[in-house]
Structure 1
Amino acid sequence: MSSTTLPAHEGSPAPVSSDQSDLAELGYEQQLHRSLGKFASFAAGFSFVSILTTIFQLFALGFSFGGPAFFFTWPLVFLGQFMVALNFAELAARYPISGAIYQWSRRMGGEIVGWFAGWFMIIAQVVTASAAAIALQVVLPSIWSGFQIVGDDPALTSPSGATNAVILGSVLLVATTTINSIGVNWMSRINSIGVTCEIVGVIALVAVFFTHAQRGPQVVLDTGAAGAEPGYIWAWIVSGLMAAYVMVGFGSAGELAEETHNPRRVAPRTIRLALSASALGGGLMIVGALMAAPSLTDGNLATLGLPYVIDSILTSPWGTVLLIDVAIAVFICTLAIQTAASRLMFSMARDGRLPASQVLSKINSKTGTPIAPSVLIGLACVAVLVVNLGNAALFTTLTSVCIVLIYLAYMMVTVPLLFQRLKGWPHGGVQVDAEGKKLFTLGWLGIPVNVAAVLYGGLMVVNLSWPRAEIFDPTGDYPVLLWAAPLTVLAVIVVGIACFPRGKTHPRPATAHPHAPSSRQESTNA
């Protein structure tokens, strides 16, 4: 068995013996330091989802609407997102480039579609990183009162709590920006250690819940007292927003493709594994919490969520240890989101598609990282955090809307990909990776899986955007916030039109018929 190199679709034959020459076939030179292995790639996606952070924050949201039976929205959202992840995995095998969503969508749908997919993701990631950073306020003052620097009320909705949240979040963002600037190796080490701590924490938490169970797993069949009007199904659909908020960001392994060894093989696997592991661990956490909660009817689960269950069954110091683990998860979640956003911004700037592209596309020769995008994103995140000072409800609404932008960006990949599949994508024979192994492919399942991903994405965009007072205007003081999702998307599009590089030819135009950029095929010599 030997490897034969055929002409690449964007140029002349090129050697494919290394990841660096592999990247050259796509029209890019190796600038980022390629040093990440399998676990580091997995950690990038797992820490972005960060179930210990997000379920800790959002459990009460799901329970308050759907009661214990809100659990069933979790596997449903997972199945939908897994359809998306399978499509992403196939694209990651063929286009292992930083700025994954932007690069995939422009190759499938053209430059305009690609640019807006990248634009949507940058905005969403900035807001998501801010939402992750602000979670420190929920955790740190519970560990030690000294973390409440301003005032004595740690509640996010109080003036002192909101101010303190901005201070803690800003300190965290300074730390993550510094780590992202000093090199991917440091980022990888810290992220991998953090993910290991988070996995251990999830396992320990699940074990504690199950060993302190007060009821059986059949509790998930209980619809609770929610949804009397206009009916339980409507309330259950709303409760699904919790899972929809959590299970995003699993494609971060694709963002780090240019820093990963053999990304054609590693990234597709870690995209699927990050989502699957998060879904399994999160599902067990939800069931365990419902089984171990002292009461399902006293209102505490709907208002306090997981902290209520933890506080009731764990005494110091174990409760404190667990909270420290949650704080670590918040840290690495923020770090992972900022890393992904900086690579996306770098990828677009390298193609000259953003304002100040010359600055944003520079790679520090010593650290091998794009410092300017990391700093800019850190500053933007702090600016978003400040919104919480004036209006906590507006900040909550903004973080809810940013998830809509992520789902829209995902659809700007899956919809044009479906059209390309109907035209015969992926073209060519059997593609192989740097080790001569076949690339991940859906084969004949490609079209049905892609159709399922598109339908799921469309339904979720509608569900996430629906003008619900309970989500967007819980106090009833700002009726206009009911339409926050469509208004925000419209505003992002308008600003995007103003920033779009009109009249500039893309330096590396996507081909009319996208297919695997590496035309390596298996051949045998007698």
Structure 2
Amino acid sequence: MSSHLSERQNADEHLLHSHGYAQQLHRGLSLWSSFSVGFATVSPVVGIYSVMSLGAMNAGPSWVWIVPLCLALQLLVALVYAELASQYPLAGGCYQWVKRLAGDRWAWFTGFMYLASALASLTTVAYLGGFWLWLLATGEPPSANAQVLSGAALLVLGLAVNLLGINPLKYFVNAGIVAEAIASIGIGVLLLLFFRNHSFALLLEGLSSTSTGDGRYFSGFLTAMAVGGWAFLGFDACSQVSEETADARTSTPRAILRSMILVGLTVMLTAFAVTLSYTDTAALVSGQVIDPVTPAVVDAFGAWAERPFVAVVLVAFIACVVSVQTYIGRAVFGMARDNILPASALLRRVDKRKVPFAAMVFSTLFASLGLALGLNATAVGTLIAFGSGGFFFVFLIVVTCALLARLNGTWKVEHGTFSLGRWGITVNVAAFVWLVFESINVAWPREALAPPDAPWFQVWAVILVFSSLALLGLIYLFWAKPYQRTGTPQVPTL
């Protein structure tokens, strides 16, 4: 048994060396642990509890059908990512893949946009989790300032867990998986079987003004679909921890696909269960209810269940924050060791626990600055759209590079253990079409996702912010030419 494990470790290190890198991180994650990181990052609790109210407001109870639709379409992207992760199981994920598919310039730009998107996502998760932290501590929903403060506390807690090393981290993430199972699967099954207050016909109705026949329902459905895409981001976290995963060429693609499918099914279950059990559907679709899940649980199980339920949900949010910080730190490390980031010599350093500590601190500080956007308590829709818009843009770059490389014959899936075979081009094309649509859909300026009477620049936030980031990235790319500094210096562990 030990000799077999040693052989796998040697194979992993040999593969890493073949790409010009030394084994600096601790390869202590199993398939289950890699899956746990992906599952906690995508997080059915974070996904469904964050978007359910917004989805119902825009499309009525029928918004739940967006969940299986988004799952099927995002699974196309996950399949392409699984192929890439199998062939190139390297920290840096999409940056490393584009580097090999399209060259150093596109790789740097992709990595830059990915980091910007991931930091926006970390800010959003911490901000949304701050609601549950304050609710558990005080029993009352937080003010804008209190939610920002609670979100900052979650970031500090997540950083502390990450700095302990990969082994303590994986046990903490496993606790999040248990919380997810209780808060999503367990409660969802009980609500659906024993506390359903509506017939399934409700799911075919649009009870808000969006159900009128003037096209507003279709517009509302597209808006809900833009928000619903948030529930299926983060599966690529598994690829970022590839250099800490045993037998990564096999384990990482399996972890990507399993986390996506199981999260999707869990979100689907919870969406259907809460919608059918919530008593005041009119209040849900009118936007009067920010958190429909807790009232549904309290109505079903009694007032005693509220505090334990909030605690379980909070654990799931904390695990998500920890996982997002983990993969951002590895993404920064994966780029910095190629010398293409400012202060790369510092950001690629690994401490005695095999943790890229400077990269972790950097990402946490930047995400903390973004929390200031949450001072407007009604801006959650803008935050979610902002957090997901960049990811879909990065997905589109990666999938486009993969498709072009397939078509011109420069990428042949030969070395990975996971391959789509003759379905590769078909799946790749379908993923490309979906991502073009959803990238436009998420970025589309909508007053429905902005606070009432919001200024025009908040309505256009996704386009303005990411266009500005892309422009800054391109200016830096052509001015500083960071891609020309690319290399693989082997940095000794502290």
Residue matched to 2:273: 288
Aligned-pair CA distance for 1:317: 2.8
Instruction: Please give the alpha-carbon distance, in whole angstroms, between the structure 2 residues aligned to 1:299 and 1:342.
Output: 38
**Corresponding residue number in structure 1 for 2:484:** 505
| 1:309–1:425 distance in 2 versus 1, CA, 3 Å | farther
1:475 pairs with one of 432, 445, 452: 452
* Match of residue 190 from structure 1: 172
Q: Which residue of the partner structure matches residue 466 of structure 1? A: 444
Contact 1:251 1:271 in 2 (8 A): yes
Q: Is the 8 A contact 2:200 2:276 kept in 1?
A: yes
> Are the structure 2 counterparts of residues 422 and 54 from structure 1 closer, same or farther at C-alpha, using a change threshold of 3 Å?
same
Summarize the Cα distance change of 1:470–1:373 in structure 2 as closer, same or farther, 3 Å threshold. same
Structure 1 residue 81: Cα displacement: 0.6
Aligned counterparts, 1:144-223, within 5 A: 144-145=137-138, 154-155=141-142, 161-210=143-192, 211-223=194-206
Per-residue CA distance 1:461-517 (angstroms, 9 max, x = gap): 11111111111x3312302222222211121012223443416525459xxxxxxxx
Residues 237 and 387 of structure 1, relative CA distance in 2, 3 Å threshold:
closer
Alignment-derived partner of residue 104 in structure 2: 111
- Whole-Å separation in 1 of the counterparts to 2:173 and 2:206: 38
Q: Does 1:129 align with 2:122?
A: yes
C-alpha change, 1:264 and 1:67, in structure 2 (3 Å) is same
Matched residues, percent identical? Answer: 26
Matched residues in 1 for 2:379 and 2:307: separation?
A: 31
1:440-464 Cα shifts (integer Å, max 9, x gaps): 1000100010001000000001111
Query: SS of 1:214's equivalent?
Result: coil
Q: Which runs of 4+ in 1 moved over 6 A?
A: none
- Selected match of 2:299 from 306, 312, 324: 312
Distance (whole Å) between structure 2 residues aligned to residue 259 and residue 16 of structure 1: 10
**Aligned counterpart, 2:368:** 382
> 1:489 corresponds to which residue?
466
The residue number in structure 2 matching 1:33 is 26
| Equivalent in the alignment of 1:72 | 65
**Aligned equivalents of 1:220 and 1:504: distance in 2?**
51
Between the aligned partners of 1:409 and 1:255, the Cα distance in structure 2 is 15
Whole-angstrom distance in 2 between the partners of 1:170 and 1:467 = 28
Q: Tell me the distance in 2 between the aligned counterparts of 1:129 and 1:221.
A: 34
Correspondence 1:81 to 2:74: yes
Mapping of residues 56-71 of structure 1, within 5 Å = 56-71=49-64
Inter-partner Cα distance in structure 2 for 1:68 and 1:237: 14
Contact 1:52 1:326 (8 Å CA) reproduced: yes
Could you say which residue in structure 2 is the equivalent of 1:372? 358
Query: Conserved in 2, the CA contact under 8 Å of 1:176 and 1:338?
Result: yes
C-alpha distance in structure 1 between counterparts of 2:382 and 2:198, whole Å: 35
Aligned length: 474
Match of 2:418 in 1: 440
Q: Is the 8 A contact 1:56 1:306 kept in 2?
A: yes
Root mean square deviation of aligned Cα: 2.1
1: CA distance, partners of 2:14 / 2:484: 25
Return closer, same or farther for 1:425/1:75 CA change in 2, 3 Å cut-off: farther
Per-residue deviation at 1:396? 4.8
C-alpha contact (below 8 Å) 2:197/2:277 kept by paired residues: yes
Per-residue Cα deviation, 1:398-423 (whole angstroms, up to 9, x for no partner): 44223111001111110010011112
Contact 1:166–1:382 (CA<8 Å) still a contact in 2? no
What is the TM-score when the length of structure 2 is the normalising length? 0.91
The aligned counterpart of 2:492 is none
The residue type paired with residue 226 of structure 2 is L
Distance 1:62 1:398, change over 3 A: closer
From 266, 288, 292, the counterpart of 2:251: 266
Distance 1:444 1:310, change over 3 A: same
Query: 131, 141, 166: which one pairs with 1:138?
Result: 131
Structure 1 residue 225: deviation in Å?
2.7
Deviates more, 1:23-32 or 1:418-427: 418-427
Q: Which moved more, 1:113-122 or 1:454-463?
A: 113-122
The alpha-carbon deviation at position 256 of structure 1 amounts to: 0.2
Is the 1:39–1:192 Cα contact (8 Å) retained in structure 2?
no
Q: 2: CA distance between counterparts of 1:376 and 1:124?
A: 15
Amino acid at match of 1:375: V
* Cα deviation 1:190-217 (Å, max 9, x = unaligned): 1122212212332221123111012233
**Distance in 1, Cα, partners of 2:200 & 2:448:** 29
TM-score (norm 1): 0.86
The aligned amino acid for 1:481 is Q
Query: 2 CA distance for matches of 1:482 and 1:55?
Result: 23
C-alpha spacing 1:16/1:375, structure 2 compared with 1 (3 Å): closer
Q: Secondary structure at the match of 1:380?
A: helix
Call closer, same or farther: CA 1:499–1:191 in 2, change over 3 Å. farther
CA shift for structure 1 position 139: 1.7
Runs of at least 5 residues in structure 1 that lack an aligned partner in the other structure: 1-14, 149-153, 156-160, 433-438, 510-526
Counterparts in 2 of 1:320 and 1:19: CA distance versus 1, 3 Å: same
Q: 1: CA distance between counterparts of 2:286 and 2:311?
A: 21
Aligned: 1:334 with 2:318: no
Specify the alignment match of 1:225 in structure 2. 208
| Partner AA of 2:265 in structure 1 | L
Letter in 1 for 2:165: G
Aligned residue type for 2:37: A
Which residue identity does 2:175 align to in structure 1?
A: I
Q: Name which one, 1 or 2, has greater alpha-carbon Rg.
A: 1
Residue type of the alignment partner of 1:502: K
Q: CA deviation at 1:226?
A: 3.5
- Alpha-carbon distance in structure 2 between the residues aligned to 1:81 and 1:69: 20
Go from structure 1 to structure 2 and tell me whether the alpha carbon gap of 1:362 and 1:498 turns closer, same or farther (over 3 Å shift). farther
Q: 1:451 aligns with which of 429, 439, 449?
A: 429
Secondary structure in 2 aligned to 1:475? coil
Residue by residue, what CA displacement relative to the aligned partner does 1:67-126 show, whole Å, maximum 9, x if unpaired?
111111111111111000000000010000001011112221222221121111111111
State the alpha-carbon separation in 1 of the partners of residues 330 and 32 from structure 2.
Answer: 19
Residues 363/137 of structure 1: CA separation in 2 closer, same or farther (3 Å cut): closer
Residue aligning to 2:5:
none
